[in-house]
């Protein structure tokens, strides 16, 4: 018969073994974190995207009746320095039967400045109407050439397949001549 010699562990042997297990576990955790960090960091927005999170626009060179386009988060934003007739027309039409009813005063923080995202809410085309010679649709606002949506001088949908008004970006006036979009 064969006998197996048993070993007894003393406290010193257990301490060494525990130290090795803890050290190996810590190194494994650190290695996993170092391996995972590039993947986690790649989910953060890039510097060029973060830089476009907000845009400041100087409004002083924009003449009354002029429309400009600025870029914000990769989208065109239309800024319209409306004339008194456009404001009056938009306010008069507040009570009309609109597909997406919204008062002009709720769409423009200052009546003379309308700021909307220049993307049709139907399928994402860019509406025409920014240039003085481009078609502005039946209500004098914007016209989407892709499927025929017409927007009024407040950016509200009046005719066509678009389900809602032109979107309003978050914006605030820093002073009378500066606006921050985003």
pLDDT of residue 37: 87
| Cβ proximity of 97 and 104 under 8 Å | no
- Could you tell me the CA-to-CA distances from 9 to 3, 6, 18, 23, 153 in Å, in that order? 19, 10, 12, 20, 87
CA atoms within 13 A on the CB side of 72: 25
pLDDT (tens digit per residue) in 85-125 = 999 989 998 878 888 889 999 999 999 999 999 999 988 89
Does residue 76 have a pLDDT over 90?
Answer: yes
Phi first, then psi: give them for residue 159, nearest 5 degrees: -155, 145
Task: pLDDT band for 50, please (50, 70, 90 cuts).
Answer: low
pLDDT of residue 73: 87
Task: pLDDT band for 79, please (50, 70, 90 cuts).
Answer: very high
Catalytic residue positions? 147
Of the candidates 83, 62, 68, 89, the one whose C-alpha atom is nearest the C-alpha of residue 152 is 89
pLDDT (tens digit per residue) in 116-150 = 999 999 888 999 988 888 888 888 899 999 988 99
> What is the percentage of the chain residues whose pLDDT exceeds 90?
53
pTM for the full predicted model: 0.71
């Amino acid at each position: 018969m064969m006998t197996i010699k048993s070993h007894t562990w003393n406290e010193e042997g257990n301490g060494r073994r525990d130290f090795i297990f803890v050290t190996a576990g810590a190194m494994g955790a650190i290695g996993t974190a170092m391996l995972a960090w590039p993947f986690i960091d790649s989910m953060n927005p890039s510097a060029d995207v973060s830089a476009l999170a907000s845009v400041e626009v100087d409004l002083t060179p924009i003449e009354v009746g002029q429309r400009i386009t600025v870029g914000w988060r990769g989208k065109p934003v239309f800024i319209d320095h409306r004339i008194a007739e456009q404001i009056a027309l938009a306010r008069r039409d507040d009570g009309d039967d609109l597909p997406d009813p919204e008062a002009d005063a709720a769409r423009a923080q200052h009546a003379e400045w309308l700021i909307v995202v220049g993307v049709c809410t139907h399928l994402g085309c860019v509406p025409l109407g920014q240039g003085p010679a481009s078609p502005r649709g039946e209500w004098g606002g914007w016209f989407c050439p892709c499927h025929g949506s017409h927007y009024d001088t407040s950016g509200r949908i009046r005719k066509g397949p678009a389900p809602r008004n032109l979107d309003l970006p978050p914006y605030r006036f820093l002073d009378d001549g500066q606006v921050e979009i985003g």
